[in-house]
């Protein structure tokens, strides 16, 4: 079955253009004009990904994004007006998987959607040799098989697909310093700008979840001028 994209934007011409373009490229699309209609669409069926406009009348996109947390939440690409850096940073901190500035380049949009959807966890191949699947990250455990972050109390902690990719990358490179290019290669699509702050934002967000003292991280440490290292000791 084709991937389902929910387009939520208050501009009808843009909604229809995006739906038509993505439809011709094999995506199944649903349209919503505001937060209430988006929630109605979610009640009717869970999409694989939401294109979410930030500046909508009534409840804005950031408020909607805040409500889309949890392991079953769809992936989200934010649509922001050009130059809205603050909204982009806040959105990434709140768990958005990617963002695009308006006016949207349609080819880039399709590429970003495919890149985000590729982050979904693929089932292990039958007969594949077992590997270590649980890793200690400070006050939490990462379960690779279940794609979950488990707290000390046994409760699942909210984790976006990008955050999972970052933790998985660090888990597979224990004790090794990873520079920005290696992180981009291992946990991002290469179409991302290598000077984008999203990596730093997401690592800061992860530290708040796993570190005893996020202001003095000991699990995922910064190696000044080089990158980051996962040191479970």
Boundaries of every domain in the chain: 4-117, 134-230
Query: Quick check: pTM over 0.75?
Result: no
- Phi (first) and psi of residue 191, to 5 degrees: -75, -10
Domain topology for 134-230: Arc Repressor Mutant, subunit A (1.10.10)
Q: In sequence order, what E strands does 129-215 have?
A: 134-137, 140-143, 148-151, 156-157, 177-179
Cα dihedral value 100, 102, 107, 108, nearest 10: -20
Strands 49-53 and 4-8, by their bridges, are: parallel
As a whole number of angstroms, the distance between CA 224 and CA 217 comes to 13
d(CA 116, CA 75): 8
pLDDT tens digits, 91-141: 666 778 888 888 889 999 998 898 888 766 444 444 444 456 788 899 898
Q: Determine the pLDDT at residue 123.
A: 44
d(CA 188, CA 182): 9
The CATH number fitting domain 4-117, selected from 3.40.50.720, 3.30.540.10, 3.40.50.2300, 1.10.8.50? 3.40.50.2300
* Residues 173 and 230 sit within 8 Å (Cβ to Cβ): yes
Domains 4-117 and 134-230 share a fold: no
Instruction: Give the pLDDT mean for 189-202.
Output: 64
């Amino acid at each position: 079955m084709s991937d389902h994209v929910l387009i939520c934007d208050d501009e009808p011409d843009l909604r229809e253009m995006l739906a038509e373009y993505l439809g011709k490229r094999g995506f199944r699309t649903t349209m919503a004009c505001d937060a209430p209609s988006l929630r109605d669409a979610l009640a009717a069926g869970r999409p694989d990904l939401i294109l979410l406009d930030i500046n909508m009348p009534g409840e804005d996109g950031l408020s909607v994004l805040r409500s889309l947390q949890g392991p079953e939440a769809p992936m989200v690409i934010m649509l922001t007006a050009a130059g809205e850096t603050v909204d982009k940073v806040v959105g990434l901190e709140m768990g958005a998987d990617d963002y695009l500035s308006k006016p949207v380049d349609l080819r880039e949009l399709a590429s970003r959607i495919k890149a985000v959807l590729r982050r979904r966890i693929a089932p292990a191949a039958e007969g594949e040799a077992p590997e270590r699947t649980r890793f200690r990250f400070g006050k939490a455990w990462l379960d690779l098989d279940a794609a979950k972050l488990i707290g000390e109390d046994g409760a699942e902690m909210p984790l976006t697909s990008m955050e999972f990719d970052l933790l998985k990358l660090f888990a597979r490179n224990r004790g090794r310093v990873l520079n920005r290019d290696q992180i981009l290669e291992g946990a991002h699509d290469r179409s991302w700008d290598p000077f984008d702050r999203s990596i730093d934002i997401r690592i800061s967000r992860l530290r708040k979840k796993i570190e005893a003292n996020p202001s003095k991280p000991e699990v995922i440490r910064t190696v000044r001028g080089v990158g980051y290292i996962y040191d479970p000791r």
